């Protein structure tokens, strides 16, 4: 058995930047072999080069998760190549913000397809290997918007609320096989998506965060790493908000 095959294997979508990149690093730092998945092959290559140079076990797959067939094939390819799949993190997501009265059907459908349907496809494909192994961790990255809603994000909030309901249902179906399923729901987190917000918008957001600051990708990733480990084996069907108190 090779060193890679002896490690637990994690499959992380949206793994090339922001929260996803932090999750890839955190799981790899916990001695897992991580398959980082994203559309941008150049960013993935740079990510893998940097992490492998640091002694971490990471590889990349360039996949558009909105293509369900390609996503399922990538998971099946991973299982066939590495002989196992222990942890699935559905982190990939998009936004198409706008007031719902003006929102185009395509903007709604694209967000639901990428944020919710893709996660369903990935969970279904990964669960087979986890059931066989009688061990697995499914971690879906939801959002505070899926818990409390957010004006201008009807599509995004719906996708994340759906992800929460789906995760709870999966948790009930797979519990007897010792496979857990949980959601991590970040609030406003410092990424390239929030960096472009105008200062006045950031100030308004900070007013509704009890901790009066944005979170960091690492803070989210550390919760994911905990849920992916052995010590979280009695936690399933839960939504853990990493939102500075917004949803309390």
Domains for the chain: give ranges and CATH numbers: 3-242 (3.40.50.720)
User: What pLDDT is stored for residue 11 in this prediction?
Assistant: 98
DSSP secondary structure letter of residue 31: T
Q: Which residues of the chain have pLDDT under 70?
A: 1-5
**Catalytic choice (11, 108, 156, 188):** 156
Q: Is 156 a catalytic residue?
A: yes
Q: What is the pLDDT of residues 33-70, one digit of tens each?
A: 999 999 999 999 999 999 999 999 999 999 999 999 99
pLDDT of residue 1: 45
The confidence score (pLDDT) of residue 193 equals 73
By three-state DSSP, how is residue 93 classified? coil
How far apart, in whole angstroms, are the C-alpha atoms of residue 181 and residue 169? Answer: 9
What does the pLDDT read at residue 233? Answer: 98
pTM over 0.75: yes
pLDDT for 5: 62
Q: What share of the chain is helix, strand, coil (3-state, %, to 5)?
A: 55, 15, 30
DSSP labels, 109-177: HHHHIIIIIHHHHHHHHHHHHHHHHT-EEEEEE--THHHH--TTBHHHHHHHHHHHHHHHHHHHHHGGG
């Amino acid at each position: 058995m090779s060193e890679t095959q002896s490690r637990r294997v994690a499959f992380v979508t949206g793994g090339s930047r922001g929260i996803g990149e932090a999750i890839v690093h955190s799981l790899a730092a916990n001695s897992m072999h991580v398959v980082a998945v994203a559309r941008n092959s150049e960013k993935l290559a740079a990510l893998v080069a940097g992490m492998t140079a640091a002694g971490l076990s990471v590889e990349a797959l360039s996949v558009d998760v909105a293509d369900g067939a390609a996503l399922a094939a990538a998971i099946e390819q991973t299982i066939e190549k590495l002989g196992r799949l222990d942890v699935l993190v559905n982190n990939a997501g998009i936004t198409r913000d706008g007031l719902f009265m003006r929102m185009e059907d395509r903007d709604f459908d694209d967000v639901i397809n990428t944020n919710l349907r893709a996660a369903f496809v990935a969970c279904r494909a990964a669960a087979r290997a986890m059931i066989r192994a009688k061990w697995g961790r499914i971690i879906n990255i939801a959002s505070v918007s899926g818990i409390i809603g957010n004006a201008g994000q009807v599509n995004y909030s719906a996708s994340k609320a759906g992800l929460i309901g789906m995760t709870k249902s999966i948790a009930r179906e797979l519990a007897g096989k010792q496979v857990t399923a949980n959601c991590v729901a970040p609030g406003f987190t410092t990424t390239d998506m929030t960096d472009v917000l105008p200062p006045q918008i950031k100030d308004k957001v900070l007013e509704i965060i009890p901790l009066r600051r944005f979170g960091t990708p690492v803070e989210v990733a550390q919760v994911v790493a905990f849920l992916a480990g052995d010590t979280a084996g009695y936690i399933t069907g839960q939504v853990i908000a990493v939102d500075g108190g917004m949803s309390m």
